[in-house]
Amino acid sequence: MRNVGVLGASGFVGGELLRLLDGHPQLAVAVAGAERHAGLDVAEVHPHLGVYRGLRLAGSDPEGLDGLDVVFLALPHGASGALVPELVDRVGLVVDLGADFRLRDPAAYPRWYGVAHPAPGLLAEAVHGIPELCRDRLPGARLVAAAGCYVTAAALALAPLVAAGAIEPAGVVVDAASGVTGAGGEARPATRFAAVDEDFTAYGLLTHRHTPEIEQATGAEVLFTPHLAPMNRGILATCYARPVGPGSDPQELLAAAYADAPCVTVSDRVPSTKAVLGSNAAHLTARADPRTGWVVSLCAIDNLVKGAAGQAIQCANLALGLPEAAGLPLVGLWP
């Protein structure tokens, strides 16, 4: 059994990490940290996690994590940049679920996040964590930057098509909708029930921070427009691109790319967020439209599982030499 720490354990993603890790056959939670809730019992903060009754939330002191096999950081963007350099030599593996180590180019951080990166020397070492696209870099890694939720859906839908030369890498459109949990657990006027219920709205026009990460993961120039949907969980990404010549069937290319990927299903069925609810599954389909000359590729995931906590565990499994899908549900909740 490997000992695990979870920092940021009081948020939606932290709670999801704890839920999934409880069912993991080889990872056991030894430390759960949440600065603002330090001293509280986990079950007081997360009533659905009664299995952790008696485990008190700690702070985020790196010394309290010494010797752990894995530490998951489910912290707000900007919080892990200064913490990771202190952790990488203290623990076996750090999996950061924030954006602090996702972009390889340090110059991108001032532009998209408004701050200089505090540890640019670690950016080249960090593995951008979408296992289906970086499986060969994960074994033995000591720092993984788990991909963003929008990025995961868009990259799974587009990366194999770009890699195969089947679509033009310029002028790709990513139109994606997310559930409200994607905004995190902190109360905000725009994400309260009364604001979100019976509404559907776009946000972050031309400036969303996931844009450079999508481009890095896909190798395409992307116009990305995110939307907030009136649901708790889920992401549906609908991606449009121009084909490169006739003959390539995008559905066949996706099926071949993910033939050995246990968490990905490619089928003719149109992906649905409800079908992947609570699971680490990604459902994809693609079509080439001879009438308009466009290719459309779609992906549905649960933003808290395959888009965050589940994917982080999937990355850790591969980094530690464990079965890729260990501890991960691959079947959605229905109805």
- Which of 149, 239, 263, 315 is an active site residue? 149
What residue has token string 């940290």? Answer: 33
Alpha-carbon separation of residue 3 from 16, 27, 28, 29, 309 (angstroms): 17, 6, 5, 6, 17
Residue 322 main-chain phi, psi, to 5 deg: -95, 165
Q: Which residues pair with 78 in a beta bridge?
A: none
CB 327 within 8 A of CB 92: no
Q: Three-class SS of residue 259?
A: coil
Residue 149 annotated in active site: yes
> How much of the chain is in helix, strand and coil states, percent to nearest 5?
30, 20, 45
Give the separation between CA 333 and CA 335, rounded to whole angstroms: 6
Contact of 165 with 244, CB cutoff 8 Å: yes
Residues marked active site are found at: 149
